[in-house]
């Protein structure tokens, strides 16, 4: 479980399509093999690490469902360690399970993202949504996506400030909305 509050902007060191090496420091404090780290909102497992890098194996399923398929050496990545039970929950509950890939229509600060039609029902005004692992609040639902206001601090410390029209981003909708929908369907 994550909060969507990015701890560090890491950088791709290398990626051969299966093994991803990421340059980082903050998220490596107290990290152990097998720990989870969200990478642009995608939960990956630490399989090797040093003081300034860590590695994860990336499955074909992950490549098929996320924007990680388009990263290359030097790409900036939003990184967050999994939440501890005693931590503050500054964002919202984020699983690190990407629902789909969206496309940036308009860059920050008034970020507009186009998403697949099947996710539109989970987007509500002032609701939570995760874009590349960043917990954000929906300003306006749109017929094909949504807008969010990205403050200068968030643009500076995440990859969102580096993205432009046409760039792909990982989208995770609020899991609570999906559970409510399922419960209501089963109650009928």
Strands (E), the chain: 8-15, 19-23, 36-39, 42-45, 48-49, 53-57, 76-81, 100-106, 110-114, 128-131, 134-142, 145-149, 168-173
Specify the pLDDT at position 15: 97
Specify the pLDDT at position 16: 96
Specify the pLDDT at position 188: 84
Specify the pLDDT at position 29: 95
Specify the pLDDT at position 92: 85
> What number does CATH give the domain 8-81?
2.40.30.20
Range list for CATH 2.40.30.20 in the chain: 8-81, 100-187
Domain 100-187 falls under CATH 1.10.10.60: no
pLDDT in tens, 164-178: 999 999 999 999 999
pLDDT in tens, 98-120: 999 999 999 999 999 999 999 99
Q: Are 173 and 99 in contact (CB under 8 A)?
A: yes
Under-50 pLDDT residues of the chain: none
- Rounded to two decimals, the pTM is 0.91
């Amino acid at each position: 479980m994550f909060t969507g509050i990015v701890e560090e902007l890491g950088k791709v060191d290398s990626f051969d399509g299966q093994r991803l090496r990421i340059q980082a420091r903050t998220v490596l404090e107290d990290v152990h093999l097998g720990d989870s780290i969200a990478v642009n909102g995608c939960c990956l497992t630490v399989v090797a690490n040093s003081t300034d890098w860590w590695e994860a194996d990336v499955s074909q399923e992950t490549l098929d469902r996320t924007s990680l398929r388009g990263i290359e050496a030097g790409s900036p990545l939003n990184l967050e360690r999994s939440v501890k039970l005693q931590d503050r929950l500054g964002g919202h509950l984020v699983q690190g399970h990407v629902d789909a890939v969206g496309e940036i229509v308009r860059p920050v600060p008034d970020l507009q993202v186009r998403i697949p039609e099947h996710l539109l029902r989970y987007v509500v005004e002032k609701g939570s949504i995760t874009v590349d692992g960043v917990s954000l609040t929906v300003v306006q639902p749109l017929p094909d996506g949504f807008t969010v206001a990205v403050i200068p601090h968030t643009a500076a410390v995440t990859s969102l400030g580096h993205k432009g029209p046409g760039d792909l981003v990982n989208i995770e909708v609020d899991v609570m909305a999906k559970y409510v929908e399922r419960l209501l369907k089963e109650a009928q």
